[in-house]
Structure 1
Amino acid sequence: MFKITTSELRDLIIAFIFISLSFSILYSGRNVVMLKSIFPVVMIGLGLGFILHELGHKFASMHYGYWAEFKLWPAGLIFALISSFFGFVFAAPGAVYTYAGSNLDDKTNGIISIAGPAVNIVLALVFLLIGAAIYGPAHHDATMQFIFIVCCLGFSTNSYLAVFNLIPIWNLDGSKVLRWNILVWIVIIAIAGFMTYLSMTMGAENIIRMIIGIK
């Protein structure tokens, strides 16, 4: 049965706010006026991806019968904010800890670890498809335009979150996935990397225009 503790909910909310603020600082170029306008967009497009990423780990752990809980990493919050002033975001404000003792083998740990980035990849594609579906109306309706902007940012940021977490260093997801199965790691980081590359070179809107056949 899914259960979330009060402290876990608190930590998720704090991390959600900090990670959303960090990316808002990054995208606004430290412009306060732009920061205020972009913050709600980032909270939906990126913040949702962050929460679902962590819940992906939690659900995967619980699927195997283990208790899992998100815990805040205070230093990670500071790193996220500071790095946002230097053109990138160190997106590691906390992590889901799986309490399995010595019973957690590399395969199970790898599957639990890949759940988060997989959620981000799927969510990025969902944002892209929604953006394609409302591309026309977004030119004539303010609400649709807002949703379209959220979708564009959601595609870019969730692709980035997937790539960042799949880097095989330290305690990031990528190191555990690589330890389990190098082929799986190569395939999923290639997918996330290609999506991130397209978002940085073409931009989400141009990708959507290509999907729906508009030059």
Structure 2
Amino acid sequence: MFKFTSSEIRDLIIAFIVISLCFAIVNGGRDANAVLSILPIVMVGVGAGFILHELGHKFVSMKYGYWAEFKLWPQGLIFALVTSFFGFVFAAPGAVYTYANYMTDEINGKISIAGPIVNIILALVFLAVATAIYPSAFYSGTSALVFIICSVGYSINSFLAVFNLLPIGNLDGSKVLTWNFGIWIVTIAIAGVLTLMSMTMGVENIVRMILGF
């Protein structure tokens, strides 16, 4: 059964708020008004990306019969906040800890890859919605707002996917790479392309390319 402890819910909420603020700072610069105005928009992308990423790990862990719980990493939150003022976010606010006496590399890899896959799927969903709503965004304020939210959601989730797949330290990528090099290279390549397109082309240009504008 999918269960949460009160401390786990608290940690998820704190991490969600701080990470949302970090991405708002990156997108809004050092203009406080800009940060506050973009924060609600960023929270949608980060909320979906961060929470569902962690729930992906938790769900697969519990599917294998292990107890799994998200725990906050205060130092990681502080570091993420500091890096956001330099134009990027080292997003490591905490992690889902799986409690097991023994775990194979395969199971550990499958648990680890669940989070980044969730982010890749979310990025594609946000892009699909942005593409569908783009034509109406020119004359509808609501559609324009949804397009902006989806654009940010696509950018954030593609970044979270590629970041977590880096084979560094305790990030997901290290465990996936240990388990299966082929799966790791395919997933990080997909996440990398999505992120590169977001950074170089911008979401609106990606959508226009898809629609043939």
TM-score if structure 1 supplies the norm length? 0.98
Task: Give the corresponding residue for 2:63.
Answer: 63
The 5 A counterparts of 1:138-157 are: 138-157=137-156
Alignment partners' CA distance in 1, 2:109 and 2:187: 12
8 Å contact from structure 1 (residues 166, 175) kept in 2: yes
Task: Give the corresponding residue for 2:38.
Answer: 38
Task: Give the corresponding residue for 2:124.
Answer: 125
The 5 A counterparts of 1:22-171 are: 22-101=22-101, 103-171=102-170
Cα distance, 1:37 vs. partner? 0.7
Task: Give the corresponding residue for 1:193.
Answer: 192
SS in 1 for 2:68: strand
Cα distance, 1:208 vs. partner? 0.7
Cα distance, 1:89 vs. partner? 0.3
8 Å contact from structure 2 (residues 73, 95) kept in 1: yes
CA deviation vs aligned residue, 1:12-45 (integer Å, no higher than 9, x gap): 0000000000010111011111111100010001
8 Å contact from structure 1 (residues 19, 47) kept in 2: no
CA deviation vs aligned residue, 1:73-107 (integer Å, no higher than 9, x gap): 00011001000011110100000000112x21100
Alignment partners' CA distance in 1, 2:183 and 2:15: 29
Percent identical: 68
Q: RMSD between aligned alpha carbons?
A: 0.7
Alignment partners' CA distance in 2, 1:113 and 1:24: 27
SS in 1 for 2:97: strand
SS in 2 for 1:136: helix
CA deviation vs aligned residue, 1:164-214 (integer Å, no higher than 9, x gap): 101101100000000101111111000000110000000111101111111
SS in 1 for 2:98: strand
Following TM superposition, the consecutive aligned residue runs of length 4 or more in structure 1 with deviations greater than 3 angstroms are none
Cα distance, 1:46 vs. partner? 2.0
Alignment partners' CA distance in 1, 2:40 and 2:138: 20
Q: Which runs of 5+ in 1 are unaligned?
A: none
Alignment partners' CA distance in 1, 2:203 and 2:50: 19
Alignment partners' CA distance in 2, 1:124 and 1:213: 20
SS in 2 for 1:168: coil
The total of aligned residue pairs comes to 213
Alignment partners' CA distance in 2, 1:91 and 1:38: 18
Q: Which runs of 5+ in 2 are unaligned?
A: none
8 Å contact from structure 2 (residues 66, 98) kept in 1: yes
Aligned amino acid, residue 51 of structure 2: I
